[in-house]
Amino acid sequence: MRRSMLVVWLFVLSLGTHAFAQTQAQTGKKAAASASTAAATPAAKLQGLDDVADQAMKQWKVPGVAIAVVQDGKVIYAKGYGYRDLEQKLPVTAATLFPIGSITKSFTALTFAILKNEGKVDWDKPVRSYLPEFQMNDPVASEQATPRDLFSHRTGLPRHDLVWYSSDFTRDDLVGRLHELKPNKGFRSAYQYNNLTIMTMGYLEGKLTGLGWEGNIRQKIFAPLGMSQSNLSVTDIEKTADHALPYELKKEVVSKVPYHNIDAIGPAGSINSSVDDMSHYLIFQLGDGKYEGKPIVAESDLREMHSPQTAIPDPPPAFSMPGLGHFSYGLAWVATSYRGHNLVWHNGGIDGFYALLSMLPDDHMGVVVLTNLPHGQTPEVLAYNVYDRLLGLDPLPWFDRFKDLEAKGKKQEEEAKKNKPTDRKSGTHPSHNLADFAGEYQNAGYGVIRVALKGDALELSLNKLGPFPLEHYHYDIFQVPEESDSVAAGEEFQFEMNKKGDIDRIAATLEPSLGEDLVFTRAPEKISKDVLQKLAGDYLLAEQTVNFALVGDVLRLTVPGQPQYELIPRKELSFDVKGLPGFSMEFQMDAAGKVTEAVFNQPNGVFHAKRK
């Protein structure tokens, strides 16, 4: 059995429970009655929306919701419901700041379009034209990938979210690690949502202007659109007077969780905003590339961002119901239809929050909904309800639909657990003492797994995530207990030996879509410079002298007539020879601690070199 770590960065959220069929019908009657009145104003059509919001919040236990509705270039509705701080009973207002998650991606794409209008970039020139260091694992993608490819998620790269979610890697680090991350699809062959590629585009934009991604957003979008409340980091949102706290739902209990800092991946999801500010953004997106008469970007580029670029052939069930059209991804937007009307939207989820920005461009209307609980479909139900009302359509039974879908999903999950094949072998034991499994293991893309012996059990950390307790599963496989309250619950880690019988690798399914395990190799032991210095010197190997020299913190071997070799510490006084698999060596000391010889272990034999 393999399970991947859960990363709370959601493009499509899990479904909540909907039990308001009667209320939906009543609300639908109100909307239909309003629509049938020729003189009904938009405000009149939205009467009763408070009831929909209130009941949705109760159903999904959402502490706080903010919503704004825009039509024909004006804000016709903006309101907060519930609490931004549940414990202190502080209310949500239209000015309350929430993280908007992946809606941020559209800001990064808009920045690129602005730079295009300035003559600095083009959608269809290779990324390397602007960022020479850009390199993916696929050499074809490295050479040919364009901004259009990265913004529309067709590079062949799966999510690999744990690279950034688990770590303190900087934006520079993440861009530099791209070439270590394997694709699972051919370049331009399929849609695969990816945060790292959008982050890379924001990084590129910041390099081009010298302002950084943050400076670009403030100067080129926030300032001209009058988004004075918005900011770019959870460290900033916590300093404001009116901000929402993050919550989660576990076992039907709502509890507060910490903010998760995602500054490194910022261009893909770190903006915080209010529905007041986001209404400005909606008005701009529904317009002609200008805001209050001032040009921001060419209208053609605005429309191109909203247009299909990459097909999404199999959207999740929540987004493939009757009334919703075929799905495609544009340039940081989802392009589909709602009941025959062109629909453009993006949602965003991060620890404790879920948001939706949605618009019907041809009908000049849009909705933004911000919540502080990543559970249920409150934003979708509110947005669809608004559209039904403003378009004068009989409301569709979204509550019932989502309720039925969730019930089916829960039943399938229960059946899957019940029928889960048992592959665990009883009566097995680890091949080594538990202490031999402890240490640091490295992967060039993902970072470091640390395994420690705590009492009589092992625990494991991935970069800054953890530690997670490990229990023996079978043989040399350990598992984070499935019943644990952990993002790693159920994850298995397989420890592997080298030819000497030493535990030197861990294999784990951290990116399931790859179809193969990621391998972490035991990190070199840290040997003090003083000890390494004692090993340096000349040794007599047969009839020739070999030399060990300390260069910086690295011990290097020189053999006459051969290139210099770097020695990689493994344990105590044992080393591997870098670049020569199967070649290793160890130093011998006498009782007084004096180095007496170096022993070379090679595929063709064991050779001794006496210290001169």
Give the CATH number of the domain where residue 388 resides. 3.40.710.10
Same domain as 539, residue 496: no
| 401 and 267 both lie in a single domain | yes
Span 126-176, pLDDT tens digits: 999 999 999 999 999 999 999 999 999 999 999 999 999 999 999 999 999
Q: Specify the pLDDT at position 59.
A: 87
CA dist 322 and 333 (Å) reads 21
Number of H helices, E strands in the chain: 17, 31
pLDDT digits (tens, 9 = 90+) for 453-487: 999 999 999 999 999 999 999 999 999 998 877 78
User: What is the pLDDT at residue 315?
Assistant: 87
The domain boundary, picked from 501, 522, 543, lies at 522
Q: Is residue 94 part of a domain?
A: yes
Domain for residue 7, yes or no?
A: no
List the CATH number of the domain containing 442. Answer: 2.40.128.50
State whether 512 and 583 are in the same domain: no
DSSP designation for 5: P
Predicted pLDDT at 410: 81
Which residues of the chain, if any, have pLDDT below 50? 1-38
Looking at the structure, tell me whether residues 213 and 266 fall in a common domain: yes
Using an 8 Å Cβ cutoff, are 327 and 315 in contact? yes
Q: State whether 258 and 390 are in the same domain.
A: yes
C-alpha distances in Å from residue 371, one per residue of 49, 92, 401, 541, 583: 16, 10, 21, 71, 58
Instruction: Give the residue from 485, 504, 522 where a domain finishes.
Output: 522
In a domain, 427, yes or no: no
475: left (phi over 0), alpha (psi -120 to 50) or beta: left
Query: What is the spatial distance between Cα 259 and Cα 48, in angstroms, rounded to a whole number?
Result: 33
Provide the pLDDT for residue 39. 53
How far apart are alpha carbons 195 and 231 in whole angstroms? 20
pLDDT, residue 289, reads: 96
182 and 105 both lie in a single domain: yes
Does residue 151 sit in helix, strand or coil? Answer: helix
Residues 378 and 440 grouped into a single domain: no
For residues 258 and 284, membership in a common domain is answered with yes
Determine if the pTM surpasses 0.85.
Answer: yes
The answer to whether residues 391 and 474 belong to one domain is: no
Query: What single string gives the DSSP state of each residue in 405-460?
Result: HHHHHHHHHHHHHHT----PPTT---SS-GGGG-EEEEETTTEEEEEEEETTEEEE
Asked if residue 424 is part of any domain, the answer here is: no
Residue finishing a domain among 488, 507, 522: 522
Residue 16 lies in a domain: no
Same-domain status, 581 and 464: no
Q: What is the pLDDT of residue 210?
A: 98
In a domain, 599, yes or no: yes
Range(s) of the domain holding residue 569: 529-611
Query: Do 442 and 373 fall into the same domain?
Result: no
How many Cα atoms sit within 13 Å of 441 on the Cβ side?
25
Q: 516 and 591: one domain?
A: no
Total structural domains within the chain = 3
Which two three-digit tokens encode residue 474? 């079978």
Residue 10: per-residue pLDDT: 38
**All residues at 6 or more sequence positions from 251 whose CB lies less than 8 Å from its CB, including other chains:** none
- Supply the pLDDT for residue 484: 79
Is residue 2 situated within a structural domain? no
Answer whether residue 420 is part of any domain: no
